[in-house]
Amino acid sequence: MRHVYVYYRIDPAQATLACSRIDALLAAMAPHCGQSPQRMQRCDDASTWMETYQDIADLGAFTDALNMSCEALDCAAFVAGERHIECFALPGDALGI
């Protein structure tokens, strides 16, 4: 299983908009995950956010759905810079072993 972490900075003036859209994004992505996705803020910088998506069986389908949902929800409207996406797996899982 794969785990995806997405981190980015938001425009603090757009925090309310960001909350509603990211919560909608998490709801849209939940069917692609084995556990409920979560939204977090960095402890020492409330403008740095992270989304966590765990237990993803089909990474390609997940990535396609994430890109389409981000575009449909216009997540770029409140992101300062870019969204950074990282994928992790347990040892052995990363190579399909």
> What is the pTM for the complete model shown?
0.90
Q: What is the pLDDT of residue 90?
A: 84
Q: What is the pLDDT of residue 97?
A: 44
Burial of 4-13, coded b for 16+ CB within 10 Å and e otherwise, reads bebbbbbeee
> What sign for the dihedral angle of Cα 63, 64, 70, 71?
positive
Q: What is the pLDDT of residue 44?
A: 97
Enumerate domains of the chain plus CATH numbers: 2-89 (3.30.70.100)
Q: What is the pLDDT of residue 74?
A: 96
Which of the residues in the chain have pLDDT under 70? 94-97
